[in-house]
C-alpha cells in the first residue's frame, strides 16, 4: 500500500522519529520499497542510500539470499523464548561468532539491540569483579566523543557534553572520562597521546571495572578516527592495572573499517566485545556481547552465578537465521577488496573539500567518509537538498558523512561524494 498525504500528515502529528521534536517535527520522506543501494520514495523518486540504514545494510536491500533465509525460518518459527529453550539458528550464530572473532572470545550473549549489548557488557564487567569480591571496582573509564547507545547504562559512558544526553547528567552514574586521542595514524603517535589515560587508570584502577571504547572510529559522538597504537597502549595498561577492556564494535564490526573487526588492526583482543548493526545485514534488530571463558567462569563461579539479563526477544530465531546468512554472504564475497576500493575512491573524491573555507576537516576510514564543516547545518534544509541531488544522507551537527553498502558501484559512490561536496560548498547558506 502506497503512502498517502494523509499518512504523512498523521506521521507528522503522532510519530516521533529519532532525535526529533514532535511539536516542531523535521520533514520526513516516505519510502515505498528498497533494492540494491536505492530507496524508492513515495513521490516516485529513487535515491542512493549513503547511510546503509544507519550502517547496517552492508549487502544492500532486498537481497535474495537474505530474503530466502527469512522466508525459510518464518515457516518454522518466528520467535520462541530463549529461557530454558534453544534452537538451531541461535546455536549456529554462536558458532559463527566464535569462529570469526579472536580465539579467547567464546562465550556469547545474543541480545536484541546494540544498546542492550552494551548494557550486558557493563553488567558482565560489574558481575566479574563482584564475583571476585572487588565490589569497589564499579566505575568505567572511557574517552570523550564516544557514543554507546541511548539506554541508561550506555548513556552513562557516552560523552557527557556532546553525547546527546547532557540533560540526563544528574541521574546517570558518574564515570571517568579522558580526552580522546588525536593520533589519526600510527605515524602520528606521540607518548603524550596516552598520558591522560595512563594517569587516570594509574590513580583510579581500584575503582575501575572496565575501560570501554569504540575502536579506531568513534561513531555518533563525532565520527572521529584514531590510530591503532592507542588501542595497543590501552590494552597494555588494562593488563598492567587489572582492568577489563570492552570494545564496542557495533558500528565498526563486519568489515566497515577494512578488517572484519577494527581491533584486528591493533592486533589486540578485548575481554568483552559488543557487535550489532550489520550483523543481520540490516534486516532485523540483533546484537551480541561476546566474552572470554575467564570472564564467564568467574561470573558463573560466584554465589549468584547467573548473568542478570534476559530480553524477551533474546536470540530471536528469525533474526539469528538472517544473521547467519548475512555472515555467510559476507565471508563468501570479496568484501575486503570492495571496502578497499570504496576507501580509495572516498579519499580521492572527498579531498577537494579540504580546500573549502566552510570545511574543518575530511576523514576517511574503510567504507566511511566524513566531511566536518565549520558550522552546523540546518537538518531540514540540507535533507531536502540532498533528496534533490538524488541521495539519502543524514548529516548531524557539523558532520556530513556516508557509510554506504559494500555493494555500491563507483558511479553511485561518486553521486554520493558529489552531493557531499555540494553541501559543503553551500553550507554557509544553510546556517
The tens digit of pLDDT for each residue in 412-424 reads 999 999 999 999 9
What pLDDT is recorded for position 55?
97
> Do 325 and 352 belong to one domain?
no
* Location of C-alpha cell 591522560: 196
Task: Say what percent of the chain tops pLDDT 70.
Answer: 98
Q: What total number of domains does the chain contain?
A: 2
In-domain check, residue 67: no
On average, the pLDDT of the chain sits at 96
What pLDDT is recorded for position 163?
58
> Do 299 and 390 belong to one domain?
no
The domain boundary, picked from 280, 302, 331, lies at: 331
Please compute the mean of the pLDDT values over residues 320-349 and round it to a whole number.
Answer: 98
Residue 69 near residue 324, CB atoms below 8 Å: yes
- The mean-pLDDT minimum among 55-59, 133-137, 301-305, 350-354 falls in 301-305
Q: What pLDDT, in 10s, does the model give residues 250-300?
A: 999 999 999 999 999 999 999 999 999 999 999 999 999 999 999 999 999
In-domain check, residue 68: no
Q: What pLDDT, in 10s, does the model give residues 341-366?
A: 999 999 999 999 999 999 999 999 99
Q: Categorize the per-residue pLDDT at 1 as very low, low, confident or very high, splitting at 50, 70 and 90.
A: low
**The whole model's pTM is what?**
0.97
Residue 97 near residue 330, CB atoms below 8 Å: no
Four-residue CA torsion sign, 380, 385, 390, 392: negative
User: Does residue 431 surpass a pLDDT of 60?
Assistant: no
Nearest of 193, 203, 205, 272 to residue 238 by alpha carbon: 205
Report in angstroms the alpha-carbon separations of 412 from 12, 14, 44, 342, 348: 31, 35, 19, 11, 15
Q: Categorize the per-residue pLDDT at 170 as very low, low, confident or very high, splitting at 50, 70 and 90.
A: confident
Q: What's the CATH code of the domain at 405?
A: 3.90.1150.10
Question: For 28-168, where are the E strands, in sequence order?
Answer: 31-35, 38-41, 46-49, 105-111, 139-143
Residue 400 near residue 424, CB atoms below 8 Å: yes
Catalytic residues: 19, 147, 248, 277
User: Does residue 110 surpass a pLDDT of 70?
Assistant: yes
Strand partners, 359: 373
Four-residue CA torsion sign, 110, 114, 115, 119: positive
Angle of helix 228-240 versus helix 195-204 axis, rounded to 10 = 20
Task: Say what percent of the chain tops pLDDT 90.
Answer: 91
What pLDDT is recorded for position 161?
79
What pLDDT is recorded for position 346?
98
The domain boundary, picked from 311, 331, 351, lies at: 331
User: Does residue 162 surpass a pLDDT of 80?
Assistant: no
Task: Based on DSSP, count helices (H) and strands (E) in the chain, helices before strands.
Answer: 13, 16
User: Does residue 129 surpass a pLDDT of 80?
Assistant: yes
> Do 252 and 318 belong to one domain?
yes
> Do 148 and 258 belong to one domain?
yes
User: Does residue 302 surpass a pLDDT of 90?
Assistant: no
In-domain check, residue 71: no
The domain boundary, picked from 307, 331, 355, lies at: 331
User: Does residue 169 surpass a pLDDT of 90?
Assistant: no
What pLDDT is recorded for position 166?
74
What pLDDT is recorded for position 26?
85
> Do 90 and 132 belong to one domain?
yes
In-domain check, residue 221: yes
- The mean-pLDDT minimum among 90-99, 120-129, 371-380 falls in 371-380
Q: What pLDDT, in 10s, does the model give residues 49-89?
A: 999 999 999 999 999 999 999 999 999 999 999 999 999 99
**Domain, as residue range, for 394:** 5-62+334-430
Residue 220 near residue 360, CB atoms below 8 Å: no
Q: What's the CATH code of the domain at 243?
A: 3.40.640.10
Please compute the mean of the pLDDT values over residues 10-20 and round it to a whole number.
Answer: 94
Amino acid at each position: 500500500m502506497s503512502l498517502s498525504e494523509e499518512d504523512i500528515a498523521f506521521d507528522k502529528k503522532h510519530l516521533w522519529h529519532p532525535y526529533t521534536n514532535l511539536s516542531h517535527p523535521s520533514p520526513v520522506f516516505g519510502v515505498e520499497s528498497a533494492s540494491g543501494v536505492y530507496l524508492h520514495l513515495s513521490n516516485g523518486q529513487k535515491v542512493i542510500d549513503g547511510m546503509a540504514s544507519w550502517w547496517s545494510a552492508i549487502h544492500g536491500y532486498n537481497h535474495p539470499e537474505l530474503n530466502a533465509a527469512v522466508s525459510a525460518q518464518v515457516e518454522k518459527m518466528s520467535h520462541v523464548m530463549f529461557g530454558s529453550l534453544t534452537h538451531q539458528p541461535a546455536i549456529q550464530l554462536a558458532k559463527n561468532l566464535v569462529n570469526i572473532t579472536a580465539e579467547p572470545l567464546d562465550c556469547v550473549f545474543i541480545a536484541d539491540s546494540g544498546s542492550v549489548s552494551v548494557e550486558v557488557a557493563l553488567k558482565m564487567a560489574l558481575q566479574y569483579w563482584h564475583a571476585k569480591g572487588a565490589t569497589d571496582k564499579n566505575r568505567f573509564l572511557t574517552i570523550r566523543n564516544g557514543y554507546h547507545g541511548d539506554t541508561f547504562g550506555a548513556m552513562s559512558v557516552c560523552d557527557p557534553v556532546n553525547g546527546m544526553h547532557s540533560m540526563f547528567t544528574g541521574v546517570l552514574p558518574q564515570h571517568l572520562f579522558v580526552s580522546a586521542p588525536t593520533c589519526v595514524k600510527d605515524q602520528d603517535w606521540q607518548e603524550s597521546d596516552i598520558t591522560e589515560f595512563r594517569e587516570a587508570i594509574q590513580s583510579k584502577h581500584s575503582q575501575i571495572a572496565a575501560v570501554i571504547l569504540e575502536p579506531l572510529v568513534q561513531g555518533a559522538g563525532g565520527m572521529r578516527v584514531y590510530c591503532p597504537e592507542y588501542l595497543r597502549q590501552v590494552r597494555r595498561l588494562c593488563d598492567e592495572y587489572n582492568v577489563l577492556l570492552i570494545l564496542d564494535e557495533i558500528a565498526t564490526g563486519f568489515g566497515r573499517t577494512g578488517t572484519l573487526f577494527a581491533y584486528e588492526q591493533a592486533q589486540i583482543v578485548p575481554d568483552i566485545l559488543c557487535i550489532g548493526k550489520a550483523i543481520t545485514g540490516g534486516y532485523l534488530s540483533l546484537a551480541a556481547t561476546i566474552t572470554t571463558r575467564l570472564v564467564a567462569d568467574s561470573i558463573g563461579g560466584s554465589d549468584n552465578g547467573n548473568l542478570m539479563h534476559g530480553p524477551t526477544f533474546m536470540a530471536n530465531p528469525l533474526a539469528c537465521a538472517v544473521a547467519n546468512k548475512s555472515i555467510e554472504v559476507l565471508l563468501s564475497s570479496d568484501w575486503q577488496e570492495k571496502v578497499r576500493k570504496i576507501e580509495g575512491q572516498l579519499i580521492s573524491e572527498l579531498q577537494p573539500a579540504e580546500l573549502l573555507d566552510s570545511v574543518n576537516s575530511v576523514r576517511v576510514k574503510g567504507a566511511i567518509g566524513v566531511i566536518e564543516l565549520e558550522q552546523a547545518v540546518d537538518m531540514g534544509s540540507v535533507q531536502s537538498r540532498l533528496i534533490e541531488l538524488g541521495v539519502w544522507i543524514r548529516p548531524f551537527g557539523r558532520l556530513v558523512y556516508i557509510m554506504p553498502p559494500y555493494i555500491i558501484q563507483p558511479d553511485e559512490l561518486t553521486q554520493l561524494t558529489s552531493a557531499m561536496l555540494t553541501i559543503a560548498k553551500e553550507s554557509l547558506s544553510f546556517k
